[in-house]
Amino acid sequence: MKQSPILPRPVRATLLAGLLGLAACASYELNPPAPEMIRADAGQVTDPREIVALVPDAASASRLLTGATAQGFVLREQDDLPALDMKMLSFTIPEPLDGPGAIAALETIEPRSTAGVNHAYKPASTGSLDYADALMSWPDSPCRALGPIGMLDTAIDSSIPELAGVTIHQASFQRGTAADPRHGTEVASVLANPRRLTGVTLYNASVIGKSARGQDESGVDSLLLALDWLAQNGVRLVNISLAGPYNKLLDRGIDRAEAQGMTIVAAVGNDGAAANPRYPAALGNVIAVTAVDADRRVYRKAGQGSFVDVAAPGVDVMVEMGGRTRFATGTSIATPFVTARLASDPTLYTAPANAVRNELAKSAVDLGAPGNDPVYGVGLVVASDACSPG
């Protein structure tokens, strides 16, 4: 197995710096959900006393830092996001301000800034692999990955034999102690299974760590740093098996990444049909994946809504890790099946989200109500005759 060392969070490559226009930060139109949904998720943050801001250039960063410091904000960290053409600053919120008050204050100090609380994003996971491949009509022979694939997840245990043929590059962006690598390793084992894909190069951004509130989760700042690292390394197809609240910082960052040709596939989350939409899956420029079982029934905890794009196997999927077999369930597990499908399709690898939706709809097996519906999207993704031979 080929593997590069895990890079520390401060390492910042500059391969694709300056890809995006500076004016985009001010002109991009955000796509938030209804205000009541935002309020319902207000407490889902990694640290209630932290505020994060994105600015387009050094001058605006300097103005924001000077003005914020004068109003009692304390700088925690400042990072460049060169591939996304932004700068990110995080502050401790001064008393008696709360999150909304801090957002208003920072965006008043520097009108070119986008400020938001540091929402938390958690792994979206709680039959057999053979049922999954058969359900998707995966070819008998493996397909060939057409280029690098990115992941935002926990770290990957690259020592397991099932990943022996995979070239793995890892970098750490999580806060605090890194989470157990099991979730990321499960996702990687599905995505890069040698019976499904060959020639896989994975760029894995480890973003899940022990937060200030003692939970395994990622802050939006870690997600943005990870996306920037992937973009700098030329990764144009990214699997995100994480889910959390709407956050305008993440909305803006993903828009930047998608505008430069990055296709993002994400899990709809496991909060149930009545829950608010989970992000980043619910963004319009992301492919949102739900999970079904061997009988093509939706996973009972999967999120539902008009944002759901496609379905894939994700209930009691057999995952082989370290010579042992376990069963995994969740929209996290369904998502890499779709990512693997895109990675091997010459017409869809790095295609924009709308093109991916339209193309997958042509071959998907319709489930539930006729046509596109909020439970299954366009239906079950199939893979027959769609891949480059391995």
Q: What is the dihedral of CA 190, 194, 200, 204, to 10 degrees?
A: 30
pLDDT in tens, 175-215: 889 999 999 999 999 999 998 899 999 999 999 998 888 88
Phi/psi zone of residue 289: left (φ > 0), alpha (ψ -120 to 50 degrees), beta?
beta
For residues 140 and 389, is the Cβ–Cβ distance under 8 A?
no
pLDDT at 105: 97
pLDDT at 386: 67
pLDDT surpasses 90 at 128: no
pLDDT band at 45 (very low <50, low <70, confident <90, very high): very high
113-132 average pLDDT score: 79
pLDDT band at 384 (very low <50, low <70, confident <90, very high): low
Contacts of 243 (CB under 8 A, 6+ apart): 121, 122, 124, 266, 267, 268, 269, 270, 271, 278, 279, 281, 303, 331
120-134 average pLDDT score: 73
pLDDT surpasses 70 at 10: no
CA-wise closest residue to 204 among 235, 177, 182, 175? 235
Mean pLDDT in the chain? Answer: 89
pLDDT at 125: 64
88-112 average pLDDT score: 96
Contacts of 224 (CB under 8 A, 6+ apart): 54, 81, 84, 86, 88, 249, 250, 253
pLDDT surpasses 50 at 50: yes
pLDDT in tens, 280-293: 999 999 999 999 99
pLDDT top residue among 44 and 205 = 205
Q: Is the pTM of this model over 0.85?
A: no
Which residue type sits at 181? Answer: P
pLDDT band at 374 (very low <50, low <70, confident <90, very high): very high
Domain 122-363: CATH class, spelled out: alpha beta
CA-wise closest residue to 100 among 36, 33, 30, 39? 39
pLDDT at 23: 32
* Region 48-117: CATH code: 3.30.70.260
Tokens of 218: 């990622």
pLDDT surpasses 80 at 102: yes
pLDDT at 120: 92
For 191-204, the DSSP string reads HT-TTTEES-EEEE
Query: How big is the CA angle at 204 (ends 311 and 275), to the nearest 5 degrees?
Result: 40
pLDDT surpasses 60 at 388: yes
For 211, the 3-state DSSP assignment is coil
Is-cis flag, bond preceding 111, omega within 30? no
Instruction: State percent of the chain over pLDDT 70.
Output: 90
pLDDT in tens, 224-233: 999 999 999 9
pLDDT in tens, 306-351: 999 999 999 999 887 777 778 889 999 999 999 999 999 999 998 9
pLDDT band at 28 (very low <50, low <70, confident <90, very high): low
pLDDT surpasses 70 at 8: no
Domain residue spans of the chain? 48-117, 122-363
pLDDT at 15: 26
Compute CA distances 192 → 121, 165, 298, 314, whole Å: 23, 9, 24, 16
pLDDT at 17: 32
C-alpha neighbours within 13 Å on the C-beta side of residue 4: 13
101-121 average pLDDT score: 96
